[in-house]
C-alpha cells in the first residue's frame, strides 16, 4: 500500500499541483474581500491574544528581548496552517467526493494537494511575518534557512494526519465532530502560548514534544526568537520523527482498511 501511494504521487504529480492551485483559488472565491481573508482572520486572532495577555492580564512582557507580539506571531502563524489541515483535512474526501465517485483518481493524493494548497497561503503569511520583524528592526539572519525545513516537516506530518482523518470521517461524521471538538484543547495543550522548555517536569516536557504542533511552533520560534538550529535539540527532533512515523502508519492503516468502501459511502 505504501509503495502504491508513493507511485500515485509520482505519476500524478502535475495534477496534484494543479489541483492544489485550484483549491487555493476556490478557498476565497466568492468572498467580498477575497484574498484579504487570508490575512484578516489570523491577524484578528493574534491581536485578540496579544490584547488579552499584554493589556488585560499584563503578562505579555518581552521574551529574549523580543516584543511579546513577535513571539506570539512566530508561534501562531504555523498553528493556523496546522488547524486548517486538522479541520479541513478531515473533510477532504467529502469535499472532493466527485474525484472519488465520478472518475478514476488516486484517492490518497487528495490530502496532499489540500496540504500544498494551504502551504501556499502559509508561505504568503510567513512573508508578512518577516516584514513584521523588519518593521521592528530585526533583519533576517542565517537561522531563516531553517524555515523551508520546518515547512516541509509540517507539510509531511499533516498530510499523514489528514489521510488518517479523511478516511475515518468519510465513513462517519461523528469522527469529524470529534476532531473539531478537540481542536481548542490541542491549541492550549501545545506549546503555542507557552515555552515548553520551561516546564520542569521531564516526562511531561517529553510528552508535549512528541506532539507535532508543539515541535513546529517551537521550531518557528527557534528561527525567529531563540536562534537555535534544529540539530541542537536532537531529542525533540527524534520525538518528532517518531510522531511522523506513527502518523504515517495510522494514515496508511486507515486508508488501506477503508478505501474500497469510501466511494460507496460518498
Q: Is the pLDDT of residue 96 over 90?
A: no
Report the Cα–Cα distance between both ends of the chain, in Å, rounded: 22
Q: Is the pLDDT of residue 71 over 70?
A: yes
Q: State how far the Cα of 85 lies from the Cα of 154, in Å rounded to an integer.
A: 10
Alpha-carbon dihedral sign for residues 197, 127, 69, 180: negative
| Burial status of residue 265 (CB atoms within 10 A of its CB: 0-12, 13-18, 19 or more) | middle
Q: State how far the Cα of 174 lies from the Cα of 9, in Å rounded to an integer.
A: 29
Nearest to 220 by CA among 72, 64, 112, 85: 72
pTM of the complete model beyond 0.85: yes
User: Per-residue pLDDT averaged across 95-107, rounded?
Assistant: 80
- How confident is the prediction for the chain on average, in pLDDT? 84
Q: Of 8-12, 183-187, 212-216, 262-266, where does mean pLDDT reach its minimum?
A: 262-266
User: Per-residue pLDDT averaged across 150-159, rounded?
Assistant: 95
pLDDT band at 90 (very low <50, low <70, confident <90, very high): confident
User: Per-residue pLDDT averaged across 135-164, rounded?
Assistant: 93
Phi, psi (5° rounding) for residue 66? Answer: -100, 140
Cell numbers standing for residue 174: 461523528
| Burial status of residue 111 (CB atoms within 10 A of its CB: 0-12, 13-18, 19 or more) | buried
User: Per-residue pLDDT averaged across 89-111, rounded?
Assistant: 82
What is the reported pLDDT for 69? 86
Cell numbers standing for residue 239: 520525538
Phi, psi (5° rounding) for residue 107? Answer: -60, -35
Phi, psi (5° rounding) for residue 104? Answer: -85, 105
What is the reported pLDDT for 36? 67
Cβ-contact 175, 165 below 8 angstroms: yes
Question: Cell 511552533 identifies what position?
Answer: 217
Q: State how far the Cα of 180 lies from the Cα of 187, in Å rounded to an integer.
A: 12
Q: State how far the Cα of 229 lies from the Cα of 233, in Å rounded to an integer.
A: 8
Q: Is the pLDDT of residue 32 over 70?
A: no
Per-residue pLDDT tens over the stretch 172-227: 777 778 887 888 888 888 888 888 877 887 778 888 888 899 999 999 999 999 99
Q: Is the pLDDT of residue 232 over 80?
A: yes
pLDDT band at 264 (very low <50, low <70, confident <90, very high): low
Q: Is the pLDDT of residue 58 over 60?
A: no
Coil/strand/helix, residue 259: coil
Q: In whole angstroms, what separates CA 147 from the centre of its chain? A: 14
User: Per-residue pLDDT averaged across 12-40, rounded?
Assistant: 73
Amino acid at each position: 500500500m505504501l509503495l502504491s501511494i508513493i507511485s500515485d504521487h509520482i505519476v500524478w504529480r502535475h495534477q496534484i499541483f494543479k489541483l492544489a492551485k485550484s483549491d487555493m483559488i476556490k478557498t476565497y472565491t466568492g468572498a467580498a474581500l477575497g484574498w484579504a481573508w487570508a490575512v484578516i482572520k489570523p491577524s484578528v486572532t493574534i491581536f485578540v491574544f496579544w490584547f488579552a495577555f499584554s493589556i488585560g492580564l499584563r503578562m505579555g512582557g518581552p521574551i529574549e528581548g523580543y516584543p511579546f507580539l513577535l513571539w506570539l506571531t512566530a508561534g501562531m502563524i504555523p498553528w493556523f496552517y496546522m488547524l486548517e489541515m486538522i479541520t479541513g483535512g478531515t473533510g477532504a474526501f467529502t469535499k472532493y467526493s466527485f474525484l472519488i465517485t465520478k472518475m478514476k483518481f488516486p484517492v490518497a493524493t487528495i490530502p496532499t494537494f489540500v496540504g500544498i494548497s494551504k502551504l501556499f497561503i502559509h508561505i504568503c503569511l510567513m512573508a508578512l511575518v518577516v516584514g513584521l520583524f523588519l518593521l521592528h528592526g530585526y533583519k533576517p539572519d542565517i537561522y531563516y534557512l531553517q524555515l523551508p525545513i520546518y515547512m516541509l516537516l509540517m507539510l509531511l506530518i499533516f498530510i499523514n494526519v489528514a489521510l488518517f482523518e479523511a478516511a475515518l470521517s468519510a465513513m462517519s461524521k461523528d469522527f469529524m465532530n470529534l476532531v473539531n471538538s478537540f481542536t481548542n484543547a490541542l491549541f492550549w495543550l501545545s506549546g503555542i502560548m507557552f515555552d515548553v522548555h520551561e516546564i520542569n517536569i521531564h516526562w511531561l516536557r517529553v510528552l508535549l514534544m512528541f506532539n507535532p504542533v508543539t515541535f513546529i511552533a517551537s521550531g518557528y520560534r527557534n528561527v525567529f526568537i531563540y536562534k537555535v538550529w534544529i540539530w541542537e535539540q536532537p531529542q525533540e527532533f527524534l520525538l518528532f520523527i517518531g510522531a511522523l512515523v506513527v502518523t504515517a502508519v495510522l494514515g496508511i492503516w486507515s486508508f488501506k482498511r477503508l478505501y474500497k468502501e469510501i466511494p460507496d459511502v460518498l
